Chains A and B, each alone.
Chain A
Amino acid sequence: MSSREDILAKIKAIPMEESPLPEIPAFDFLIDHKAAFIRAIEANKGEVITKKGLKDFIDINRFEKILSLVNGMESLSTQPLPSDAHELNDLEVAIIQGQFGVAENGAIWLTDENLGLRALPFITEHLVIVLEEKSLVSNMHEAYQRIGAQHSGFGLFISGPSKTADIEQSLVIGAHGAKSLRVVLR
């Protein structure tokens, strides 16, 4: 008997009482979505900025390696999307479009079509996500309702810059992934 059959047969042989799958209620969340979202991003050590703020961020730091995949903001790119993600290793800024944001925790939903390459939001030194204000949902239940049966090979909630507290519980931003997250809310 293969291990698959073996495992399934062992489970089947165990007498189990029925246990119904519960329905998940909607849970009201009646506060100001925008204010809650900004608070959550800031608590996660990210920043919410304007389009002008993005321009200033790029100008002041004189970034030279920028990749923008956002419709209407392509001109910010200084290089094309490579075919191999390893070539993104020295990328300074990635600018991508978020599908929607979650007010309760600052999470932003992205899928393959937003990322170009799946490694992009991780390997870049700084990450900028452009998000429409009207796209905000209240909580994770509404988020999955919004995702629905969407079929993407890879989907991702990002809620802040890469971080760790593995050394004496001291929070350090920029563990392996992006050292900063800026959200352009428009």
Chain B
Amino acid sequence: MSHPAKASEFLQDAAKAKWHDETLWFVRDKRDTISKTIPEWEQLRELASQIKDNVLANLDHYLVEFEEKAKANGIQVHWAKDAEEHNQIVLSILQNHQCQAIVKSKSILTEECHLNPYLEKNGIEVVDTDLGERIVQFLNQPPSHIVLPAIHLKKKDISELFHEKLHTEKGNEDPAYLTHAARLHLREKFLGAKVAITGVNFGIAETGEFVVCTNEGNADMGVHLADVHIACMGIEKIIPRRKDLGVFLRLLARSATGQPITNYNSHFRSPSLGKEIHIVLVDNGRTDQLAREKFKNSLKCIRCGACMNTCPIYRRSGGYSYGSVVPGPIGSILSPGLDVKKYSSLPFASTLCGSCTDVCPVKINIHEQLYEWRQEITKAQGTNAKSISMKIANGIFAVPFAYQVTGAMMRGALKILPDSITYSGLNTWGKQRDLPETPEASFKDWYKKNRS
């Protein structure tokens, strides 16, 4: 189903859609406020962008350096060319440890690889431990936002869900009460898990360490109680030096939620005595994207979600309208790289206002790439109703006489045509909008009469 069709579904519940729009704008506003307290904010964005450019230009070199250092630190490094291989590697580690149940903290990569259904099919219980992710997992839904996974749900929905799953009081919608119930439920899971899976925010080539950022502390609760830590990492998450973290950690949380830093920023360098750390380095289409000159910059993304919070389309259509693992503006330039046919409507889910580009902490030219994808997709797809009307308009505008005649005709016609024709399916502009009153005469006629 296309983005517009799914967006219409989201907009059915007008009150909820309004809340969604305003809540994300509030997060965007917090980002603005805190970014203005840092005088060098723009300089930091420029530095982050340059560091990531350098990474993309030397990715093979940094990956080899990272692997070498990580191995020297006692970390086991695996490489996966695609989602399937990634999932097989994870499963084989679990099987080697006779592990039947795992805890997992937020990892968009494992969503991308559809790891949960794969492991469940192989008899493994997977518990997502980020509160928002646990909520959507109970509902068998994917996250609708990469930082705020359950932002599409209201506390009433969550209260009903927890009453059913965790036997909380019926009708108790207090977020503190519900969070506490989840804390008790997940504490048991943390204490029982032998293997914990996390994503990776940054992998540092210089030291072979990797950094995981959370506010809840769920990643750390999982890995420090388990015997085995599996970290799943896209190959583009590499940064060259430890000191580069100074730039990225200043930008990440401020851009994401408007807080100065996440509560827990854990640097994993080597396993505790008697324990294991595995890193799975995953390509899954990233090298293909790197080879696309116009779109390779999308790999600079640090997954802060700022482009979603600011996007007038995302805020009013919800994460599910995109039908992709990463929604919003950044998802609309990443997803066509994976499957251009399936995601062909996404680059059009934008006003091209450029706000995404303005807030991006690594200065990805998101709106320009959206525009570039439109060119590619239109070339591949041929004509549609809109392009036919544009061709007609082109003919009319090119010939002054034709323009005068059609202008007069339209002024007359719009007055007498029934709405069923004026607002037919061909007039997509007319959906939820009224045409303005047509003037008596054209501006040219008016000028001749009054000013000459």
Q: In this complex, what residue of A is CB-closest to B261?
A: A105
Chain B contacts for A169, CB-based, 8 A: 23, 26-27, 148, 151
Distance to closest chain A CB from B142 (angstroms): 15
* Contact present for B263 and A8 (CB under 8 Å): no
Residues of A contacting B50 with CB < 8 Å? 19-22
Of residues 224 to 268 in B, which have CB atoms within 8 Å of A's CB atoms? 224-225, 235, 240-247, 249-250, 257, 259-268
13 contacts between A and B (CB under 8 A): A2-B79, A7-B281, A7-B283, A112-B272, A119-B224, A122-B217, A122-B264, A155-B269, A159-B265, A168-B154, A175-B216, A176-B187, A177-B218
CA distance A131 to B53 in the complex (A): 38
Known: A24-B47, A27-B40. A166 touches B265 (CB 8 A): no
Q: Is the interface of A mostly helix, strand, loop or mixed?
A: loop
Top 3 A-B pairs, shortest CB-CB distance: A177-B217, A166-B132, A105-B260
Given contacts A151-B269, A167-B155, A168-B175, contact A177 B148 (CB under 8 A): no
Given contacts A117-B224, A144-B245, A166-B131, contact A14 B263 (CB under 8 A): no
The digit string for B205-221, where 1 denotes a CB below 8 A from any CB of A, is 00001000001111011
Judging by beta carbons under 8 Å apart, are B224 and A176 in contact? Answer: no
**Do A7 and B155 have beta carbons less than 8 Å apart?**
no
> Contact at A3–B81, with CB atoms within 8 Å?
yes
17 further contact pairs, Cβ within 8 A, besides A156-B264, A156-B265, A169-B26 = A2-B79, A3-B80, A3-B81, A18-B57, A19-B53, A20-B54, A24-B47, A118-B224, A119-B220, A140-B250, A144-B245, A156-B267, A163-B216, A166-B179, A167-B158, A170-B155, A170-B176
Residues of chain A within 8 A of B182, CB atoms compared: 175
B221–A119 CB distance below 8 A? yes
Whether A43 sits at the interface, judged by CB under 8 Å, is yes
Asked if A141 is an interface residue, CB under 8 A from chain B, the answer is: yes
B357 close to chain A: CB less than 8 A: no
Instruction: Report the Cα distance A66→B264, complex, angstroms.
Output: 22
Kindly specify which of B58-66, B345-353, B419-427, B438-446 makes contact with the partner chain.
B58-66
B197 within 8 A of A: no
8 Å CB interface, A61-114 against B: 85-86, 89, 102, 104-107, 112
**A159/B262 in contact, CB under 8 A:** yes
- Of residues 4 through 18 on chain A, the ones whose CB sits less than 8 Å from some CB of chain B are 4, 6-8, 10-12, 14, 16-18
Asked if A178 is at the interface (CB within 8 A of a chain B CB), the reply is yes
Q: A44 contacts B259, CB within 8 Å?
A: yes
Complex Cα gap A2–B260 (Å): 42
Cα A141 to Cα B80 with chains together (Å)? 34
Q: Are B250 and A21 in contact (CB under 8 A)?
A: no
Residues of A near B291 (CB, < 8 A) are 10, 14
When chains A and B are docked, how far (Å) is the Cα of A157 from the Cα of B261? Answer: 9
